[in-house]
Amino acid sequence: MNFKKILLIDDSDLDSYINKKIMERVAFAEEMQLFNDAQEALHFLTSNLDKPENLPGLIFLDINMPVMNGFEFLAEFQKLTPHSSFICPVVMLSSSIDPADKERAKEFSSVYTFLQKPFSKEELCHITPEQIFAHR
């Protein structure tokens, strides 16, 4: 089973393209919405909190981005509503191999898992709506 809608937030057009193609190959989501700016994605989510049909089932979030990085996004995202982590779990993405990034990601209840970029289709296939529901 795939996700109805996901968001991919990454400032790298190349990484977004690669990740989108991998997701398309495994039919990961019916709809993918791409943002290259975390503030724009946060504004989208904020403006759609009262429209659950517009909200994604999962967010893929890059850590290292200009203006607002992934951790800054998560801090603001968790303020939106006490139930944000249940509406939109987050998969953190990074090309960094710094273990501190993984540890810091664990501090946010909305983070479901952490993947290195680019992720593989095998890794992606281990992320299912059923697993996320069971994880809650």
DSSP 64-109: --SSS-HHHHHHHHHHH-TTHHHHS-EEEEES---HHHHHHHTT-T
The pTM assigned to this predicted structure is 0.91
The verdict on residue 11 lying in a domain is yes
Domain boundaries, position 84:
3-23+56-135
* pLDDT under 50: residue ranges of the chain: 85-86
What pLDDT sits at residue 96? 80
The verdict on residue 41 lying in a domain is no
Q: How many domains does the chain have?
A: 1
The verdict on residue 43 lying in a domain is no
CATH of the domain at 129: 3.40.50.2300
The verdict on residue 68 lying in a domain is yes
Tokens (6 digits) for 107: 């501090």
Strand partners, 34: 8
Question: Which of 61, 78, 81, 74 lies closest to 16 in space, CA to CA?
Answer: 61
